[in-house]
Structure 1
Amino acid sequence: MTFAAAEPIVANVLARSLAPRKPMRVSEWAARYRVLSSKGSQEPGPWRNDRNPLLVEIMDCFSARSPVRDVVARLPIQFGKSELEVNILGYTMCENPMPIIVALPAEVSMNKWIDQKLNPLIEETPAIQSVMTSLSSREASNRRSFKDFQGGQLYVEHAGAPVRLKSTSAGLVLADEFSSFASLLKSGDDPSEMLDGRTSAFPSKYKRLKVGTPEIAGRCRISELYDKSDRRLWYVPCPECSHEQPLQWAGLMWTPDGSQCWYVCRECGAAIDEYQKTTMIAKGGWVPEEPGALIRGYHANALYYPMGLGPRWHELERMWRDAQGDNAKLKTFINDRLAEPWEDPAMRGVKFNVIEDRAEPLPLRPVPGWVLAATAGIDTQDNRLAVQIVGWGKGMTCWPIDYVELPGDPADDEVWTALVELLSQPIEHASGAVLRVECSAQDMLGHRTEAVKAFVRSRRLRRHIAIFGATANTAPPLGKAKLQDINWRGLVDKRGVHAYPVGTVAIKHHLFGLLSTDADKPAEDRRVRFSDQLSREYFGGLVSETYDPRKNRFERVRGAPRNEPLDTWVYAYAAALHPELRMNRWTRAQWDLREAQLLASAGKVALADSRETPAGALPAAAPDSRGTPIRRPRAGITTRDGWGL
């Protein structure tokens, strides 16, 4: 080839090399270069943006010239969330190279993502292969969870390796199934803050995406971020009146037998068949509810599934009907299909402000006349003892008498002296009688187990028992005591400390069930009643947990106060079930007897003082756990001079 013939070719190559790159959006890159593999896609072949229009704007937020920095996408399962991430990843590697972190909740999910998404992306997309520095698996720059490409590096990490996450800087962070990060992050870090910190070295060009399906209301991180965002919903026009509206589950209707299903326009009431959905979605768009928020938020539900890529409306309706009455199935449907946080229906009436509003304008002491017995629960912390004294009435109606935090390290004796003084004080009753704490239960787990055992062993309080949370979530409220001490022969010391396992899940279900059913009752009919002298922190701590049916346990609500008021109430309830008391088994006659004894101690009823009970008189002793009167000084009721009746 002569120089004259080669000159225009060389000039053309130089011109293309020197010319500024034409701006390209992520959706345009995906339509031009992305090839879906049969290993992870139902429809392999070239990527089509019109197949799921809802993903286009979310992808374009990560274009090089987009001003958007933070995006949260709360989407149903199998909606294309992973493909969305892969398109953003491929675009960034080819068009806007920088260090990238792809973070997943666990090692298993990370390995699946690499096998089903990352490896097919490299194998099926020539544009990605052209920017890879090496395609050989033997090269150090091409490990399984690390890829080196021109202008950047790709790190694939999981929440089980927080040290690796903390030591990596990146301009782009893609977090998949973000709601699961908090429970799997072993380091205890806040997952959002930890991931956001990875982009500190790229203040002018960083981009972050957090995507996934929600979980438990109050603990769902992705829902928390979505609530702070501009909250975008996909509005579609009605085929009849053209009114634009988002598709919501409440708008779906069906016949009683489920044979027909349709959507109802909230403006004109027209019945919309599912075959019209594709055209409606194509004409729709994202509309923010809070324009101007710093975070872009996107939410869609299963009604937006593209035809052929997800369950049909009538299938969703059948799933919904099958889930009724089964909280685990209902949670799965609401989380996975509606992409909304799940809240236990029994917990909806158990809110901090709702509970506080029920407080009655009564003092904590003297306790109301219907309170007939008292127990206490103690939570052991490294620097304090949280103590709650609870009063009980007929049918185990509850009145929290006091909640106190005694400062001091349980390893020292001072805090134990304060505990003895607190629980030994007489409790003034409205009748003029005096109650005393009949049993107290103290948590022995944690860093001060031996100190708790030593105090129980000292017997400075009557019926003071050591307890621990039962391992099984289905354990009864109070289990059989277990010996804790060993004698000099290495055998169990039968005279040592007994520790009782407490079924905290069962007791919390009982408490929250009472609080929920009390919502519509007048004060005098409620099972759990409160004084308005209790602090706001007490009410917040009492309802600081929510039930997770998937794990069958209660977990802290994010941002709620400390849960010691709840734990100590649980322990006080367990104390009421002590084998020598068993208040939950008392009959009405036994409660009436206790009430009569209180009135007698106040001087309103004359009781015989002889050893034998005259005919027709009340027994001189409280009933035992089986209801049989026993001839001994009774616990829990004393006269003002301190003598037991």
Structure 2
Amino acid sequence: MFRLEFTPGECAVMEPTILDQSTGEWMQENVVVPEGPMKGSHYDPRLSPYFPPLWDLFMQAWVREMAVAAGPQIGKTLFGQGFLARRGVERPGPRQIALPDEDLTEDWFDKKLIPLFENSPKLRRYIGDERNAVVKTEISLKNGTTFTGRWMGSLSKRASLSVLDGLGDEPDMFPAGAHKDFVERFNTFSTLYKLLWIGKPIGYDGESFIWDEFNRADVKVRWAARCPACGTYQVMQFENIKVPEGVRDPAEIRLNKAAWYECCHCEWRWTDQIRNRAVRDGRLEFDREVDRPVKIGVHIPSWNSRWVSLSSVMADWFAAQGDPDKLKSWWNGYAAQPANVIASESNEERLQQFMVPELPPLVVPSEAQAITLSTDMQKDHFFYSTCAHWVDPTGQDDGSEEWIIDQGKIETFKELHELIFQSRFRRDGKRSDFLGVWRAGLDTGGGKNEWEDETRTMQAYEWLLRQRPGVVFGTKGMSRKTPGYHVRLGNPMQQLPNGRKLKRPMRLHFIDTDAFKDLFFWRLSDEARDKEGRWLEPIHFHAKTPPEYFYQLCSEKKVLQKGTYIWKRVRANHWLDCMIGHLAMAHWQWSPSLKAMVAADMAARAAAKTQRASQGEKKFNPYTGKEM
């Protein structure tokens, strides 16, 4: 009788695999965790609930690549090990792990991958029987699978043989050209390979390889936690991690566990323990539906991890303020994204404290000296606001004060003309003292509507030419800034962009919008207080200012990107642009300046008073000097 016998290696190759078993179940059954807080225990999918569905997604036959941008303490290494181990056991072939340098490669095998197989009884039986089955940076299995480490700092080391699967660990630390060399290893298995990039982003926008891979993915995936109170699924945002009002000391936040996460729907406060439950009950959230995506992008910030306290997130956030390097590390680490270092911002609640309860809309404070009207032009409407100003003309104090007394939206140039030339605002406390608009500005930027022949800019120019000189002015943001110049009068415009020559030259006022945004947000910050807590240059808002106005004022943040501070818009900013117009029109570089005109008025009044005193009871007009 003929008897067929197989070697242990052949038995391993022919051993049936459970194809319908999820990777999370396979990990729980086969893997003993080699390092970290759960070292020595069997893998528990509840501790990192986002990994099992991500493994199953990655194991789909049509998925070739996955880029996971994740923060510290998420479990990135174990996710990569689980992918390699299951694929290596079930589908024989060469695998390669790419790391930034030689020491990291040796440590990765010595402390992570080799212990994963040797300390897990069910995985240990797959290791080959040869003496050199496990060496410094290589593991060989009985079924023919090999795991080989390659450090990307050496051109000769990374130019190796073709591989079926690969893991690029911390690719943002790879030298230039290494990513392309590593990807070329998969050309032979172009319809079978799986490549996993995993690590934290490093640097600013445009500097992170893994963030670029995430953005180039067919589908972007995030983890949506489920609120235990209301059941709402939500991708956790940093803006919802909060601390008590006025608490900013990192040590106090960390010691007292002062931070919590606020549910975006019911506003229930999640402690660390509630956050853990919400994350455990969560699910994957896709940015769009794609049939059989080839490349998957994944983003998992550290505040999804049970090993990261929300208080640590906030304590390190406040500790990093004012230090660009620390802020960059915070964004790269906790937020797992390129640095978006916020240098200046505000919020609606903070701005609402500058409302004056006793100041009704459309009423001018008694001390105000002039009124400006600022307009931001859109394709088929205008946003506007009206501001009352006070400046100190004596030279003893360079302070100023503003009151927003009206804001709104109009549709036509005719309405704008009426608003500027026909509006009269009553001075507070006086029935018969009214002020009109002293100076008005119109932002001339704008595109073209499909139903119109002219651009909005052309319409604005033609409208400005028909207005009374010295009252309404066209404005435009500076494309090229000159240090020290916040407002600059442009050269006379002899003809319009369409070639039409002008009988009367027109000049635009160019504004350094970034400089005025700096000024505006500084005037609303605690830095704009003196030692007694008084505001140096306050800005106020009337008692019925609508919430949407404050919402737009907080539409931009000053962030550090690629080593440069820029103002970044996060939503509609039309009323913020109007505010910048007010500050520009009252600035001393806008000639004639409000300060100069108020000083001249005071001088004329003083001279008239002196003349009256010297000539008895005769009264004189303070502006003409003639007897009344």
TM-score, normalised to structure 2's length? Answer: 0.51
Amino acid at match of 1:114: F
Distance 1:235 1:142, change over 3 A: closer
2:171 is aligned with 1:178: yes
> In structure 2, what is the Cα distance between the partners aligned to 1:29 and 1:93?
13
> In structure 1, what is the Cα distance between the partners aligned to 2:108 and 2:285?
31
> In structure 2, what is the Cα distance between the partners aligned to 1:517 and 1:170?
55
Report the 3-state secondary structure (helix = DSSP H, G, I; strand = E; otherwise coil) of the residue aligned with 1:173: strand
Alpha-carbon contact 2:300-2:336 (below 8 Å) kept = yes
> In structure 2, what is the Cα distance between the partners aligned to 1:74 and 1:206?
21
Superposed CA deviations along residues 163-210 of structure 1, whole A, max 9, x for unmatched, are 3322321110101112222xxx2xx4261x332221111123210100
Please report how far the alpha carbon of residue 301 of structure 1 lies from its aligned counterpart in structure 2 after TM superposition.
1.5
2:206 is aligned with 1:208: no
Higher normalized contact order (CA 8 Å, seq sep 6+, divided by chain length):
2
Matched with 1:199 is 186
Please report how far the alpha carbon of residue 160 of structure 1 lies from its aligned counterpart in structure 2 after TM superposition.
0.5
2:249 is aligned with 1:252: no
> In structure 2, what is the Cα distance between the partners aligned to 1:174 and 1:247?
27
Which one of the candidate residues 562, 575, 580 is aligned to 1:546?
A: 562
Distance 1:232 1:18, change over 3 A: closer
2:251 is aligned with 1:264: no
Matched with 2:533 is none
Please report how far the alpha carbon of residue 93 of structure 1 lies from its aligned counterpart in structure 2 after TM superposition.
2.3
Alpha-carbon contact 1:74-1:223 (below 8 Å) kept = yes
Distance 1:25 1:98, change over 3 A: farther
Superposed CA deviations along residues 251-303 of structure 1, whole A, max 9, x for unmatched, are 11111334432222212223233322232222210010133253212212122
1:95-174 paired onto structure 2 within 5 Å:
95-134=90-129, 136=131, 139=132, 142-149=134-141, 150-174=143-167
Please report how far the alpha carbon of residue 127 of structure 1 lies from its aligned counterpart in structure 2 after TM superposition.
3.4
Alpha-carbon contact 2:89-2:145 (below 8 Å) kept = no
Superposed CA deviations along residues 537-558 of structure 1, whole A, max 9, x for unmatched, are xxxxxxxx92399xxxxxxxxx
> In structure 2, what is the Cα distance between the partners aligned to 1:248 and 1:89?
31
Alpha-carbon contact 1:235-1:285 (below 8 Å) kept = yes
Distance 1:392 1:45, change over 3 A: closer
Alpha-carbon contact 1:100-1:155 (below 8 Å) kept = yes
Amino acid at match of 1:96: R
> In structure 2, what is the Cα distance between the partners aligned to 1:122 and 1:17?
17
Distance 1:169 1:312, change over 3 A: same
Amino acid at match of 2:303: L
1:213-224 paired onto structure 2 within 5 Å:
213-215=200-202, 216-224=204-212
Distance 1:130 1:91, change over 3 A: same
Alpha-carbon contact 1:179-1:214 (below 8 Å) kept = yes
Please report how far the alpha carbon of residue 122 of structure 1 lies from its aligned counterpart in structure 2 after TM superposition.
2.9
Please report how far the alpha carbon of residue 66 of structure 1 lies from its aligned counterpart in structure 2 after TM superposition.
3.9
Alpha-carbon contact 2:162-2:186 (below 8 Å) kept = yes
Report the 3-state secondary structure (helix = DSSP H, G, I; strand = E; otherwise coil) of the residue aligned with 2:325: helix
Distance 1:17 1:299, change over 3 A: closer
> In structure 2, what is the Cα distance between the partners aligned to 1:323 and 1:204?
46
Report the 3-state secondary structure (helix = DSSP H, G, I; strand = E; otherwise coil) of the residue aligned with 1:58: helix
> In structure 1, what is the Cα distance between the partners aligned to 2:14 and 2:181?
40
Amino acid at match of 1:78: Q
Amino acid at match of 1:49: P
> In structure 2, what is the Cα distance between the partners aligned to 1:244 and 1:392?
46
Distance 1:343 1:118, change over 3 A: same
Alpha-carbon contact 2:139-2:147 (below 8 Å) kept = yes
Matched with 2:476 is none
Superposed CA deviations along residues 231-268 of structure 1, whole A, max 9, x for unmatched, are 21111222222221111111111113344322222122
Alpha-carbon contact 1:54-1:234 (below 8 Å) kept = yes
Please report how far the alpha carbon of residue 54 of structure 1 lies from its aligned counterpart in structure 2 after TM superposition.
0.9
Please report how far the alpha carbon of residue 334 of structure 1 lies from its aligned counterpart in structure 2 after TM superposition.
1.3
Which one of the candidate residues 18, 23, 36 is aligned to 2:33?
A: 36
Alpha-carbon contact 1:129-1:135 (below 8 Å) kept = no
Alpha-carbon contact 2:331-2:340 (below 8 Å) kept = no
Alpha-carbon contact 1:93-1:128 (below 8 Å) kept = no
> In structure 2, what is the Cα distance between the partners aligned to 1:135 and 1:515?
71
Amino acid at match of 1:161: S
Please report how far the alpha carbon of residue 322 of structure 1 lies from its aligned counterpart in structure 2 after TM superposition.
1.2
Alpha-carbon contact 2:331-2:341 (below 8 Å) kept = no
Query: What is the alpha-carbon root mean square deviation over aligned residues?
Result: 4.3
Which one of the candidate residues 215, 222, 225 is aligned to 1:233?
A: 222
Distance 1:254 1:198, change over 3 A: same
- Residue segments in structure 2 that go unaligned for 5+ positions in a row: 248-252, 346-444, 447-456, 458-479, 493-511, 521-560, 566-628
Distance 1:393 1:99, change over 3 A: closer
Alpha-carbon contact 1:239-1:272 (below 8 Å) kept = no
> In structure 1, what is the Cα distance between the partners aligned to 2:125 and 2:15?
20
2:70 is aligned with 1:78: no
1:398-413 paired onto structure 2 within 5 Å:
none
